[in-house]
A and B are shown apart, each in its own frame.
Chain A
Amino acid sequence: MKYTFWLLICCFCVTANAQHNPEQKAGSKLWEVFLSSRVALTNRIPLHYLGTKPADSLKASAQDTLERVLVRDLTLSGMFNLRLPNLPPDTSIGGQMEERMTYLEGEFASDSDSCRVSMLLRSQLTDESFWKENYDFRPERSRAVAHRISADVIRMMTGEPSVTQTRIAFIGYAGGIKEVFSTTFDGFELFKHTHEENTILSPAWSPDGTKIAFTSFLRDQADLYVLSLDEGSVTPLISAPGVDQAPDWSQDNQRIAFSSSADGNSEIYVCRIDGTEIRRLTYSWAIETSPSWSPTGHELAFTSDRLGRPQVFIMDADGANQRRLTTEGEYNDSPAWSPKGDLIAYVRRCDDGFQIFVTDPKGENHVKLTSGPGDNLGPTWSPDGLRIAFTSNRIGTKQIYTMDVFGHNEERLTNLRMSCSNPTWSPVLNVETEKSITTEQ
């Protein structure tokens, strides 16, 4: 049974491997450029996971959960050629047997109500451990601990941030009411953040992890609010006449871009995160909305229908130098700038419904990541820029899914009775922040 599990995981690794092969996207310069800045994806690190020992009969369930979640995290990261215990050497994976191997292993111990696992990384070359960490936890927290371990291992091995300590917030719709919910990045620990009994739209998680800005009709028309996650309090941000909506935080956590029709027509504005120093950036007769900051804060992508149909544009952060990003298709919308700045995801209306595309910031290469039947909307990036969460109605009701940046390895995040939409991916949350935002007020 256990052997079957590892075999399945291994097959998954192999498939993931093949799908990540840039050759499959022949003709796309996009991936060439993209991968050139991501050594961890092209030269995957050989890592042999040896498991945790000894098998703990009293806390077997906690140990099993920890191992499964850890292996899944490391696999989904896409950064390792992962070998698993109990399997014969497999030379088919990138000739990794020729390479230097790193071993990951752990010692498991428990007493009546707590567990301790000591994890270490050991180099095949020197046979010495170069990283060791003890994790003490209650058995029911084994999932969270596995995420912490995988985050630490990924940081040690690649220097990259890890998504394993992130959450994804979204709008849950039930009984005519839309509220903000979130789960862990892998769909566990559902938490309800708002209790406004109203319609809440377009949530945006702040880069420091402590707030979510959103649009709501709390005062009869669309205004902007900020939810403080640790206090659970909701404060108005922008309450101008007309529609105020579509907030997006700058990566330095200083400013929020949004759209407002306060001056009679939906335009892009920027304000400080306390709602002061409002500055108008666009002046056009058309609809301008859905701004998305570049990670440097020097540019903004946004939607405009100034040419008759919605298209994605880019401008400098002062509103200058407005230029068109999308030229194909008659409906392009919802830009989302990746955390590393090298890609912009957006939504295009296609023959098979609304689908998610990515392009470079010059708009030279466009790649379709999803396909119908069904609409795929609202892309949001993981903090490491390797996965995209989005809304899809492919099963009839709206649910949240994630996929890697190549459009593969889709995972369904939510499987709820209520319909789920408008995902926003949190930054990497430290243990204290995550605890404070998921504690009932």
Chain B
Amino acid sequence: MKRNPKDLDAAHGKMTRRALFLGGLQLAFAGGLAARMRYLQVDQADEFRLLAEENRINIRLLPPARGQIFDRNGLIIAQNSPSYRITVVPEDAGDVEAVIAKLSSLVPLDPEDLERARTEMRRSPPFLPITLADQIGWEDISKVAVNAPALPGVTPEVGLTRVYPQLGDFAHVIGYVGPVSDYDLSKMEDPEPVLMIPRFQIGKVGFEAKREDVLRGKAGAKRVEVNATGRVMRELDRREGISGADMQLTIDAELQNYVQARLGRESAAAVVIDCEDGDIRAICSSPSFDPNLFVRGISVADYRMLTEDNYRPLSNKTVQGTYPPGSTFKMITALAALENGVVGPEETVWCPGHLKVAGRRFHCWKRAGHGHVDLNTSLKRSCDVYYYDVAIKTGIDKISEMANLFGLGIKHDLPMSAVAQGITPTKEWKSSSYGKDWLIGDTANASIGQGYMLASPLQLAVMSARIATGRSVTPRLLKSLDGVEQPSGAGEPLPVSENSLRMVRRGMYSVSNDRRGTAYRSRIAPKEMEMAGKTGTSQVRNITAAERAAGVIRNEDLPWERRDHALFVCFAPYDKPKYAVAVVVEHGGGGSKAAAPVARDVMLQALYNGTPPLEAYPKADRSRIKAQQERLERERVKRPLGSRSSRA
């Protein structure tokens, strides 16, 4: 085919033009691409650089070590121990099931844990470690470590967990920690990120919960570089956390241990407080429980055992429990009467065994009556009629005012859970709480610590300390925080005349040192340590007229929960008070029989700073006391030795 060269040239010219046109378009497009590149890489570079860093860098929290808690002598009460767990990285394990089978032949694995681990494995990328078993003993973890070559991908890991070596002794004081729960988080306004660490432990009750702020510490963090699937490539930098502050309590762990043992299986509470500076030397609620059970989550069976126990081991009777103070309140009524000039120290009241108040008979515990009773005798023999009489003359408001002065009806600021305020009734209080007028009979009831009157064992101990010193001693539980000594509880002199106080102390002295005193049998023998005290027996039921007619039923014949509470408060030495003690034995019967001996033993233990010599006891008691001391010694030694020798 021959063509016209002219046409061909024309066609070529057209093509050249179009080729140049297309080339121009292409250049323009390339220019557009370059402009876009400039926009992304130059104009927006900073923003994208930031996004790239966000992609690349993950921040991992490092849990801080919780502050440790010591007793006043440096004995450890709450510590952090290494806890071991076994993890497996499925990717490294290869055949995971084979590895698990091999592992379970070495150490016992919980099927429930395994099921959870398998579910987790299906969901997470294969390079992330999965926990197979938690809280493994040292022996098991060694077995795993020794067999490591046969267990690909399996790593024994170490973390920190809370341990309470004193077991039940401090369960009520410092409480316990537990893994943070969704419920805990829901209660917080703005939870710290560290709480999101799985199984991070926080204080649940008691001191651990109250001082969570300082005990927890500050979380550290490490920045790691991760790839797109979240695998950690390397650690970029790390900022260690700040450990929680160490705490020292005013409690003497040795004494605490003794008191706990002395209370035994009774449902009881005992508080030992330093009269001068308010330091709580021991504060025990019985029965107790092992707080370590709660640290990793208590089993349903164990928990049911604790909650279904009539003796309520979980409640802290020392500060949460409030009881009618009974006759231990009589010092307050006496002081109110004396201070208001209602009765003189030598004045007597006639006790025929009862007093008619507003047409109703108020009985004295002694039906035959005490005859002529002065202040000293009224305390010594715990005559009720004397107090009905002077209280009605004084008036309830003045009595309550006096009670508040001595720490009753006052919420003491202690870092413990649910510290009770108790009740010191006034006319206004009754009308606002019950909408009823105050009756004169209410005053009679209140005068002997019954009726509306309620006080916690801690308050009773504080009351005794204040009577002993005449100063407004405040209880102190925290001795030092992070090495800084906390303010002492020594207080100002109370606005009560020394004369009245001396009279009341003298009466209390008679209670335990006069042959006719209600607690004479629980006296302390050495002259320089003599104890002043007051018994109390508070009714938990009304004695009906029919019952009274039939003769009051003896406590021993009643079911346990209807028996009277036994109380005893005291301080010693009488001349130079060092400690005040309050003991409440729930449904223990009479205060002189159930509470006073316990208080005396505890007082001696505190005064001698250890087991007292038998000479400290009255001669007649010594053989019995010797047997008791030996028994308690045995019971106290039963506890694991290792846990008691970790002196810090």
Asked whether A and B interact, the reply is: no
Which positions in A face B, CB cutoff 8 Å?
Answer: none
Which positions in B face A, CB cutoff 8 Å?
Answer: none
